[in-house]
């Protein structure tokens, strides 16, 4: 079921990146879209329609889409803070403790991240970069088949560490108590029950009940992602999330049962999730394949796992660990785990990945919940240029220029010359006034 590939076959198959924006939608998605929005309407067109209606009609449009798309009658979008408190109070103590541990570590990790707030007096006066928090942030927390209180912690806490003054959470109607409990735990009191593209629209434009924010973060389903793409430029974004991915590089020192468990944990996320093992050991490959079969039947989401193992997962047999590292780097996975004798050494050969999980004790599931770094990481090969969600995502830089008079005069004379070649006589004039003290 988890197939074994040679390098070339893997390159042409499971390792080949399909640019998300050009990906064909599954037939079921297109069919459901047409059933709800009319013949010939693509998911993008449906999302445009949702965005426009929310911009124009506000809450009334949100109610309509919640009914049509989520089959939910929503009177008040805002969850009362009493309900958040109650959800926390009703959480069993062991889970409370686990969530507290997670929140504490996420906060500690992000508080350690240095920010590039700096000034210099080496350049003739005072220059530098001032870092300030984004004022209002919207966090999308998906509902769906597996409610994720961890997703709330992983986005909200870095924003709090950055100093964001207003954090607004949107999550589909009738959210799970665990999500509400997580909101209470980290002190968020603006939680709105609205999901999908309509939630993104509400956060981007504002409605009567939901404030317009400066930046939207968090992953959601296809409609959420398409909506984020369409509001790009109007509002800040953390990126567009595709299906989740884990790659494992393992040598013959790895425990096949653990590797199998890590691949299965990844595969259970959703039908498009991808779990890939790179290994030079054919013994390990066979043992992992067998362990996957053995463990699979005991899992609650075995049907989902079977399909995601089939779709975009596999074992790639490589000539050596260097090749495994090179392939993983080109693939640029969201998560990259090193189940090898010397994780640090192999990791040095990899340029691109959202997170490195070094050693079998640092498995990816800990990254999902409690290790500390945000589990919102770049997918679909975007780790070539994008980072996991971090404190920098919730601040922005203002460049500072305060030159001393002598430097200003020298630079003004140079500016006159460059402005001349750029044929900008207004620029030249403004600079000449200062250069000549007119």
- Shortest spacing between CB 168 and a copy of itself, in angstroms: 14
Q: Which one of residues 196, 218, 314, 373 is an interface residue with a copy of itself (CB under 8 A)?
A: 373
CB of 197 to a copy of itself, least distance (A): 15
Near a copy of itself by CB under 8 A: residue from 76, 97, 294, 320: 97
311: contact with a copy of itself by CB under 8 A: no
> Can you give the three-state secondary structure of 297-344, one letter per residue?
CCCCCHHHHHHHHHHHCEEEECCCHHHHHHHHHHHCCCEEEEECCCHH
What is the closest distance, in whole angstroms, from the C-beta atom of residue 166 to a copy of itself in the complex? 12
Residue number, 68 or 410, with CB nearest to a copy of itself:
410
Instruction: Give the span between the Cα atoms of 109 and 114, in whole angstroms.
Output: 11
Decide if 334 is catalytic. yes
Q: Which of 190, 268, 334, 360 is catalytic?
A: 334
Q: Specify which residues 247 forms β-bridges with.
A: 276, 336
Residue 75, SS3? Answer: coil
**Binding residue (CB under 8 A) for a copy of itself from 147, 195, 243, 314:** 147
Give the count of residues interacting with a copy of itself (CB under 8 A). Answer: 141
Sign of the torsion formed by the C-alpha atoms of 285, 287, 288 and 292: positive
Which CB sits closer to a copy of itself, 66 or 205? 205
Q: Which residues contact 133 (CB under 8 A, 6 or more apart)?
A: 162, 163, 164, 165, 394, 395
**What DSSP letter does each residue of 408-429 carry, written as one string?**
HHHHHHHHHHHHHHTT-HHHHH
Q: How far apart (Å, rounded) are the C-alpha atoms in residues 179 and 171?
A: 9
Helices 302-312 and 256-267 pack at an angle, to 10 degrees, of 100
- Residue 291: CB minimum distance to a copy of itself, A: 11
Does 298 bind a copy of itself (CB under 8 A)? Our answer is yes
Q: Which residue in 16, 341, 345, 351 binds a copy of itself (CB under 8 A)?
A: 351
Closer CB to a copy of itself, residue 169 or residue 419? 419
Applying CB under 8 A, does 290 fall inside the site for a copy of itself? no
Q: How many angstroms separate the CA atoms of 3 and 150, rounded? A: 31
Among 210, 248, 343, 346, binds a copy of itself (CB under 8 A): 343
**One of 14, 148, 161, 210 touching a copy of itself (CB under 8 A):** 148
Give the number of other CB atoms < 10 A from CB of residue 110: 22
- Decide: is 318 part of the binding site for a copy of itself (CB under 8 A): no
Q: Where in 127-146 is the site for a copy of itself (CB under 8 A)? A: 127-130, 132, 134-135, 145-146
Alpha-helical (H) ranges within 332-396 are 343-347, 364-369
Closest CA to 393 of 214, 266, 189: 214
DSSP characters over 76-132: -SBPPHHHHHHHHHTS-HHHHHHHHHHHHHHHHHHHTS----EEESTTSEEEEEEEE
Tell the smallest beta-carbon distance from residue 404 to a copy of itself (Å): 8
Q: Pick from 12, 108, 174, 253 the residue near a copy of itself by CB under 8 A.
A: 108
CB of 178 or CB of 288, closer to a copy of itself: 178
Instruction: Indicate whether 112 belongs to the interface with a copy of itself (CB under 8 A).
Output: yes
DSSP-assigned letter for residue 155: H
Name which of 62 and 237 has its Cβ closer to a copy of itself. Answer: 237
The length of the chain is 438
Spell out the residues 6+ positions from residue 319 whose beta carbon is closer than 8 angstroms to its own: 7, 280
Interface residues for a copy of itself in 225-254 (CB under 8 A)?
A: 229-236, 239-240
Contact positions with a copy of itself (CB under 8 A) in 207-226: 214-215
- Residue 334 near a copy of itself by CB under 8 A: no
If binding is defined by CB under 8 A, does position 303 make contact with a copy of itself?
no
Q: Is 335 a catalytic residue?
A: yes
Q: Is 243:312 a contact under the CB 8 Å cutoff?
A: yes
Question: How much of the chain is in helix, strand and coil states, percent to nearest 5?
Answer: 50, 15, 35
Interface with a copy of itself includes 50 (CB under 8 A)?
Answer: no
Out of 245, 335, 360, 375, pick the active-site residue: 335
Contact between 369 and a copy of itself by CB under 8 A: the answer reads yes
**125 lies in the binding site for a copy of itself (CB under 8 A):** yes
Distance between CA atoms of residues 355 and 390, nearest Å: 12
Interaction of residue 401 with a copy of itself, rule CB under 8 A: yes
Least separation in angstroms between residue 6's CB and a copy of itself is 25
Instruction: Report if residue 431 touches a copy of itself, rule: CB under 8 A.
Output: yes
The residues carrying an active-site annotation are: 334-335
């Amino acid at each position: 079921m988890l197939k074994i590939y040679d390098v070339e076959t893997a390159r042409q198959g499971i390792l080949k990146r399909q640019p998300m924006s050009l990906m064909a939608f599954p037939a079921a998605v297109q069919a459901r879209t047409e059933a709800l929005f009319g013949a010939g309407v693509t998911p993008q067109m449906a999302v445009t329609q949702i965005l426009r209606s929310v911009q124009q009609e506000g809450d009334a449009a949100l109610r309509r889409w919640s009914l049509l798309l989520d089959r939910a009658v929503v009177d008040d979008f805002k969850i009362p803070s009493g309900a958040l408190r109650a959800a926390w109070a009703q959480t069993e103590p062991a889970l409370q403790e686990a969530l507290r541990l997670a929140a504490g570590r996420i906060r500690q990790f992000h508080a350690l991240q240095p920010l590039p707030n700096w000034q210099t007096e080496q350049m003739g006066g005072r220059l530098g970069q001032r870092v300030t928090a984004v004022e209002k942030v919207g966090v999308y927390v998906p509902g769906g088949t597996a409610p994720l209180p961890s997703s709330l912690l992983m986005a909200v806490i870095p924003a709090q560490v950055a100093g964001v003054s207003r954090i607004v959470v949107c999550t589909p109607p009738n959210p799970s108590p665990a999500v509400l409990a997580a909101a209470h735990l980290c002190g968020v009191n603006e939680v709105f029950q609205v999901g999908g593209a309509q939630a993104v629209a509400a956060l981007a434009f504002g409605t009567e009940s939901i404030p317009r924010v400066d930046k939207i973060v968090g992953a959601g389903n296809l409609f959420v992602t398409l909506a984020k793409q369409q509001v790009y430029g109007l509002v800040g974004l953390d990126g567009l999330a595709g299906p989740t991915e884990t790659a494992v590089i393992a040598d013959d020192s790895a425990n096949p049962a653990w590797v199998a468990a890590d691949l299965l944990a990844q595969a259970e996320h959703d039908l498009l999730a991808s779990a890939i093992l790179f290994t030079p050991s054919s013994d390990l490959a066979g043992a992992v394949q067998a362990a996957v079969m053995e463990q699979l039947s005991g899992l609650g989401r075995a049907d989902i796992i079977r399909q995601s193992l089939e779709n975009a997962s596999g074992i790639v047999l490589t000539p050596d660990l260097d090749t495994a590292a090179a392939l993983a780097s080109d693939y640029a996975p969201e998560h990259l785990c090193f189940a090898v004798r010397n994780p640090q050494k192999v990791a040095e050969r990899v340029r691109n990945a959202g997170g490195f999980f070094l050693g079998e004790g640092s498995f990816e599931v800990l990254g999902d919940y409690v290790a500390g770094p945000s589990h919102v990481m770049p997918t679909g090969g975007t780790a070539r240029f994008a980072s996991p969600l971090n404190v920098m995502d919730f601040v922005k830089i203002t460049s500072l220029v305060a030159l001393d008079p002598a430097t200003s005069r020298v630079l003004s004379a140079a500016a006159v010359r460059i402005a001349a070649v750029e044929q900008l006589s207004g620029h030249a004039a403004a600079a000449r006034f200062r250069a000549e003290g007119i």
